[in-house]
Amino acid sequence: MQRTLPPSAPRTYLVGCDFKSDIRVFSGSTYHLALEGVKAGLLTGMVNLHPRGISGWPVYARAGWWRFSGGLRVRYGFKFTDGYLDGIWRRGLPTLQGSRVINNFQLFGPRFIECHEAFGIAPYFYIDASLSEYFGEYQEFDTAHIEDAAMRQALAAERVGYAVCRKLVVMSKRTASYISRHYDVPQDKIRIVPPGANIAEHLLEKFDELGEQPRRSDGKSLVIGFIGLYPERKGLPTIAGAVGLLRRTGYDIRLHVVGNCPPAIAQQEGVTHFGLIDKRVDTDRFIEIVRNVDVGCMLSRAELTGIAYLEFLRMGVPVVATDVGGAPEIVELGAGDLVSLEISATELAQRFAGMMDAPDRLADLRETAWRRRHNASWRRAVPELKRALDQ
């Protein structure tokens, strides 16, 4: 993924450093940012430093030794270690010589820090949050098994990287404040740019041309949408509980779930579980499901950014989100409600009932979300990122 530049133009590369061969997996932010960044002229291209081929064997050898040295216990977190980072940058530094590098990962590593000036590389970050926030807020979930030694090494390398970078662009006000306070990064070095939905824009253009939303709730029924691989972290039990309460009192409310779903919820009356959908190969189906709900709802207990909210908003669907992490900035891009992290199924049911009992308010929310849907795209975010980097 690369564009041709005139000889005098500076080269700018987005770099992915994850331990995966396909940069589109997980949230896919690096890939979709690169697509729009190249089209808009911000980026020369994208480089995924995933170790591959013969040159990648030293990294895999280090990973094998790292895991073997743990003895009988399974070790997690190699991608946060100096051994991994130095291995991928040993190959990446010559490729990126003389360019601006925007790192989509929180770490550069000792080798990069030591050698980047000699290669004429100007380092930048564009990240969702700091590793301190990630390790802390996701401790019960994604990061539960990462060993302490890997986390300590990563936090030390992260601090050095933030000190040497030219600009540090983050996705939320909470993270900007956190990094300024806990990493001693000057506020004038930090910029805030909320991300976009990780759906290729050309796939949505045909729906944009329709000029209206596919569903218009008349107050007699309501379809709630949920997207998530981690249903407990994203509050699916509370959402399903609210739907169940309302259905027992006569409301025609349904819940559509994309992702993982506990069997008891999947079998609940009024719940449709569509299963896991790989957006790389089944994008049209994903779009059709998401755009045909009335409200997207995830009650995340930990959410540094909230990519799934953006997917609803980009299709003109308002959201209900917990007031955590970067959710406030995401909701502001479109339309929706922020609720307390402690909201109960009964309180959520009252909120859904209010939407059905006052359909004009829901119609206003949906009209606002539809009108502002392009705010939730990378086409909005890329020019903002360019201004942030150039300031």
Distance (Å, rounded) from C-alpha 121 to C-alpha 171? 24
- The answer to whether position 237 is within a domain reads yes
**Residues 289/273/309/250 CA torsion (nearest 10 deg):** 90
Rounded to an integer, the average pLDDT of 140-154 is 78
390 burial level (CB within 10 Å; 0-12, 13-18, 19+): exposed
The more confident residue out of 371 and 51 is 371
Distance (Å, rounded) from C-alpha 83 to C-alpha 19? 12
Same-domain pairing of 214 and 180 = no
Q: CA Rg, the chain, in Å?
A: 22
Same-domain pairing of 224 and 357 = yes
Q: How many of the other CB atoms lie within 10 Å of CB of 114?
A: 12
Distance (Å, rounded) from C-alpha 165 to C-alpha 174? 20
pLDDT in tens, 29-49: 898 999 999 999 999 999 988
- Mean pLDDT score of the chain, rounded to an integer? 88
- The answer to whether position 387 is within a domain reads no
- Give residue 26's pLDDT: 43
Distance (Å, rounded) from C-alpha 334 to C-alpha 371? 8
Same-domain pairing of 143 and 37 = yes
- End residue of a domain, out of 192, 226, 261: 192
User: How many residues in total does the chain contain?
Assistant: 391
Q: Write the CB contacts of 334 (distance below 8 Å, at least 6 apart in sequence).
A: 312, 313, 316, 318, 319, 368, 369, 372, 373, 375, 376
- Give residue 24's pLDDT: 47
Residue 75 tokens, joined: 């070790």
- The answer to whether position 300 is within a domain reads yes
**How many distinct structural domains can be found in the chain?**
2
Distance (Å, rounded) from C-alpha 159 to C-alpha 183? 6
Percent of the chain at pLDDT exceeding 70? 89
DSSP, res 139:
T
If residue 45 lies in a helix (H) or strand (E), which one and from where to where?
A: strand 45-48
Task: Look at the alpha carbons of 96, 98, 100, 105 in this order and tell me if their dihedral is positive or negative.
Answer: positive
pTM (predicted TM-score): 0.90
Domain that holds residue 229: 201-376
- Give residue 205's pLDDT: 82
User: Is the model's pLDDT at 84 over the cut of 60?
Assistant: yes
User: Is the model's pLDDT at 25 over the cut of 50?
Assistant: no
Least-confidence region, from 121-125, 137-141, 211-215, 296-300: 211-215
Cβ-contact 256, 291 below 8 angstroms:
no
- The answer to whether position 1 is within a domain reads no
CATH number for the domain harbouring residue 256: 3.40.50.2000
pLDDT band at 128, cuts 50/70/90?
very high
DSSP 290-301: HHT-SEEEE--S
pLDDT in tens, 187-210: 999 999 999 999 988 888 887 776
- The answer to whether position 60 is within a domain reads yes
